[in-house]
């Protein structure tokens, strides 16, 4: 590592799903211990996720996070008291473009997050029960998304056809360029968020909020929305199971989320400094 990368880390911003959480969405004892050790060492710690803020409360409590947390890939930053530090909605034109594209594709489940609710048009999708378990609350079935268009925090195309999502990601990025962001937070999820909804900018905002220079920050993640953090952080760490294009943008690679890779990263690259 360079001299800059070797400086002590004062703030770690970590992804949640696929990073801190195991595939069954649980936190391992080693991960809990590692985060506790961070706090004991005086290192600030928070979460940045594609999840709605409402779906992070259990993990926030378990990890003892007492700082603002980032939801919707940076579309919202929520203070510990529940008030919003930052909030960005998907522009209506981009939302309409994404919804028309997704709903025209067989095998795609289209989910909309707005007004602190998870909205969908039917309950038939095979991924819906898994997402319900992960989020910890049930979706609301609506006949149309139209009334929510001005207030959408995130749209998700969900599918087990990873190649289809990659193709849709490319098409949507071209169609909504300059309006919104489209990125795969996980191989089976394509997220559409506001252009300002960026984990990298969220890292900048929180570092400034904490009075920490960016060169003394670290970012940890595994998804296609995490390199935005990597590009801003003084130290970037990719999970072992991340796609190669994500790993290539990180300074170091840790183990997978099946191998307590997040805890390994905290112990090896942050606490040992």
Q: Quick one: fold of 92-194? A: 3.30.1240
Residue 95 CB-density burial (10 A; 0-12 exposed, 13-18 middle, 19+ buried): buried
pTM for this entry: 0.86
3-state secondary structure string across the chain? CCCCCCCCCCEEEECCECCCECCCCCCCHHHHHHHHHHHHCCCEEEEECCCCHHHHHHHHHHHCCCCCEEEHHHCEEECCCCCEEEECCCCHHHHHHHHHHHHCCCCCEEEEEECCEEEECCCCCCCHHHHHHHHCCCCEECCCCHHHHHHEEEEEEECCCHHHHHHHHHHHHHHCCCCEEEEEEECCEEEEEECCCCHHHHHHHHHHHHCCCHHHEEEEECCCCCHHHHCCCCEEEECCCCCHHHHCCCCEECCCCCCCHHHHHHHHHHHCC
User: Would you write out the chain's pLDDT as a tens digit for each of its 273 residues?
Assistant: 444 456 799 999 999 999 999 999 999 999 999 999 999 999 999 999 999 999 999 999 999 999 999 999 999 999 999 999 999 999 999 999 999 999 999 999 999 999 999 999 999 899 999 999 989 999 999 999 999 999 999 999 999 999 999 999 999 999 999 999 998 988 899 999 999 999 999 999 999 999 999 999 999 999 988 999 999 999 999 999 999 999 999 999 999 999 999 999 999 999 997
Q: Cα(269)–Cα(236) distance, rounded to whole angstroms? A: 10
3-state secondary structure 32-76: HHHHHHHHHCCCEEEEECCCCHHHHHHHHHHHCCCCCEEEHHHCE
What's the residue count for the chain? Answer: 273
Match domain 11-87+197-271 to its CATH number in 3.40.50.1000, 3.40.50.150, 3.40.710.10, 1.20.1260.10: 3.40.50.1000
pLDDT of residue 156: 97
Q: What angle do CA 253, 257, 263 make, to 5 degrees?
A: 70
Q: Are 268 and 260 in contact (CB under 8 A)?
A: no
User: Among residues 233, 230, 231, 238, which one has the least CA distance to residue 215?
Assistant: 233
Looking at every residue in the chain, the average pLDDT score rounds to: 94
First to last CA, the chain: 12
Every domain of the chain with CATH number 3.40.50.1000 lies at 11-87+197-271
How far does Cα 118 stand from its chain's mean position?
16
User: For residue 230, what pLDDT is reported?
Assistant: 98
CATH 3.30.1240.10-classified regions of the chain: 92-194
């Amino acid at each position: 590592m360079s001299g800059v990368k070797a400086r002590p880390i004062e703030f770690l911003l970590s992804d949640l799903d696929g990073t801190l959480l195991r595939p069954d969405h649980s936190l391992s004892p080693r991960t809990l211990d590692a985060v506790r050790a961070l706090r004991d060492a005086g290192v600030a710690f928070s979460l940045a996720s594609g999840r709605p803020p409402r779906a992070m409360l259990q993990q926030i409590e378990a990890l003892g996070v007492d700082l603002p947390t980032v939801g919707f890939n940076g579309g919202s930053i929520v203070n510990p008291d529940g008030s919003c530090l930052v909030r960005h909605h998907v522009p209506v034109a981009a939302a309409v473009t994404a919804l028309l594209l997704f709903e025209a594709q067989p095998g795609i489940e289209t989910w909309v997050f707005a007004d602190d609710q998870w909205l969908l048009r039917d309950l038939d999708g095979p991924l819906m029960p898994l997402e319900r378990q992960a989020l910890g609350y049930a979706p609301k079935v609506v006949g149309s998304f139209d009334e929510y268009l001005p207030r959408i925090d995130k749209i998700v195309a969900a599918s087990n056809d990873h190649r289809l999502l990659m193709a849709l990601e490319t098409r949507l990025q071209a169609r909504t360029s300059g309006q919104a962001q489209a990125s795969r937070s996980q191989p089976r999820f394509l997220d559409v968020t506001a252009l300002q909804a960026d984990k990298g900018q969220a890292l900048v905002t929180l570092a400034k909020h904490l009075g920490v220079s960016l060169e003394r920050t670290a970012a940890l993640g595994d998804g296609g929305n995490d390199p935005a953090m990597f590009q801003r952080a003084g130290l970037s760490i990719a999970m072992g199971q991340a796609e190669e294009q994500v790993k290539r943008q990180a300074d170091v690679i840790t183990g997978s989320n099946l191998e307590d890779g997040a805890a390994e990263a905290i112990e090896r690259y942050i606490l040992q400094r």
